[in-house]
Structure 1
Amino acid sequence: MPATERCLSPSEGNKAIGGIPNMHYFDFKSRGRGNVIRLLWEDAQIAYDDTRYTFEEYPKYKESTITKLNPATTIPVIEIDGQILTQSYAIIRHFARQLGKYDGQTEEAKYWADAICDIVADWRTLFIQAFFNERQAETYPKHQQGDRNRFLTALETHLKSHDLSRSGPYITGKDITYADFVLYQILHDEDLIQDGGNGLQDYSRLKQQVDAVEGRENIKAFMASKRYRG
């Protein structure tokens, strides 16, 4: 049976988004697209229900519970106030707009956050193909040396060269956006930020962004709590 845990206490943020969301996602530690949404909720101090499925039990619930919620049978799926929300990056953008922050303060900032998010989405697709592969021992090292390094170099260059990114530690400078959580999570899932960020020793601008995200009070509290599972 999937396990559901109530996280945090209801806040003004919950009023802004219309209630307490329930997220259906894999029990994949604090990893994947689902954790991108958790990071936003944790930072904004939004109470949420966290329903986790083991990889072994998911096929059973995919054909029943998840299919009823989302005909595309993909997760995460969010239930909130009678609504069903699907597609992780659309979900996080939706909540950012409802909260009136995390979405960029200008049209240029909104564009730049969206652009970096889309780059990371392309990277994550290749990561998943390589990592969740029957020949992982062959495909993932190849990915690490090829596509992963290519995206790291591209993102490092983007953040060092764009005027907004040069104005502060986050993607759009001084203000964090949803895209910072998206970028942080792929770096986390590729095991690049663990051990003091040793995997980013050649990417100083990305390391600066990671440190800024992890240094936020509510994210720091999340990382130190039992809700964070590594």
Structure 2
Amino acid sequence: MTVTTNFSPVKVHYFDFGDFAKSLPKDVGRGENIRLFLEDAGIPHEYILYPWSEWPVVRDEWIQNGYLTGTLPALQTNDGKKYFHTVPILCFLSKQLGKYYGKNVDEEYLVDVVADTANDFYDSFVHNYWLRRVSDNRENHHKNEAPIHIDRLERFYKINEGPYLLGSEISFADFQVYHVIRDEQLTELPPRLATLIKTFEERPNIKKYLEAKKNN
């Protein structure tokens, strides 16, 4: 596949959650899915974070200039174009690069399904854990809700030998699954997902990126 977009460099726009994400990982949220992808692909990028207080002004300006959703994350390519929504951004990047998306329509379908499944998990995390400051609600999420999503994902990862969803080749859905598990701060995982996490973190560019974050 021919790459038609100038990727050098790109900008990823996302939120600076500040105290709103206290007790959660510093890289919490959907923007990190895209950043991990870009790191793995070796695409130079700038990560721009907007505090809650500043975002409404930026959002309204963007909307006036044709940015339809007024949401983040957003990917801005070197030619100034902006792309929005996590999964469509990852799908767009994968198609441009000619990898991370499977070799046939059945594999692409599986990647799409697991990407949506990971999104469902993340939505549950946001609404039933992150936004619920009461400890009882958070305990209920980890005890009764998160296991449902984990079991569902584990079934998908049993389809192929692994370590990734499609087998030996990583897909963009793997980035989402990895990051939602890290956002949830889960340590006890079933075998296939545990293997995914371990293998993912050993990918050369990802390993370098994670080590650099530890030192910041």
**Alignment RMSD, CA only?**
2.3
- Structure 1 residue identity aligned to 2:125: F
- Structure 2 residue identity aligned to 1:185: H
Stretch of structure 1 that moved more, 52-61 or 97-106: 52-61
Long gaps (5+) in structure 1 = 1-14, 193-197
Distance in 1 (CA, whole Å) between partners of 2:56 and 2:215 is 25
Structure 1 residue 173 displacement after superposition = 0.3
**1:224 has 2:211 as partner:** yes
Query: Counterpart of 1:126?
Result: 124
Stretch of structure 1 that moved more, 42-51 or 107-116: 107-116
Distance in 2 (CA, whole Å) between partners of 1:41 and 1:55 is 25
Query: Counterpart of 2:195?
Result: 208
Distance in 2 (CA, whole Å) between partners of 1:67 and 1:74 is 13
Which residue of the other structure, out of 88, 99, 113, is the alignment partner of 2:97?
Answer: 99
Stretch of structure 1 that moved more, 47-56 or 61-70: 61-70
Query: Counterpart of 1:4?
Result: none
Distance in 2 (CA, whole Å) between partners of 1:94 and 1:187 is 23
Distance in 2 (CA, whole Å) between partners of 1:228 and 1:150 is 35
Long gaps (5+) in structure 2 = 18-25
Query: Counterpart of 2:22?
Result: none
Distance in 2 (CA, whole Å) between partners of 1:35 and 1:107 is 27
Distance in 1 (CA, whole Å) between partners of 2:11 and 2:171 is 22
TM-score normalised over the length of structure 1: 0.80
Stretch of structure 1 that moved more, 210-219 or 51-60: 51-60
Whether the aligned pair in 1 keeps the contact of 2:69 and 2:84 (CA below 8 Å) is no
Stretches (4+) displaced over 4 A: 65-69
Whether the aligned pair in 2 keeps the contact of 1:21 and 1:49 (CA below 8 Å) is yes
Return closer, same or farther for 1:62/1:123 CA change in 2, 3 Å cut-off.
same
Query: Counterpart of 1:110?
Result: 108
Return closer, same or farther for 1:219/1:109 CA change in 2, 3 Å cut-off.
same
Query: Counterpart of 1:191?
Result: 185
Return closer, same or farther for 1:228/1:26 CA change in 2, 3 Å cut-off.
farther
**1:78 has 2:75 as partner:** yes
Whether the aligned pair in 2 keeps the contact of 1:117 and 1:179 (CA below 8 Å) is yes
Counterparts of residues 10-25 of structure 1 (less than 5 Å): 17-19=5-7, 20-25=9-14
Q: What SS does structure 2 have at the residue aligned with 1:22?
A: strand
TM-score normalised over the length of structure 2: 0.85
Which residue of the other structure, out of 165, 175, 193, is the alignment partner of 1:171?
Answer: 165
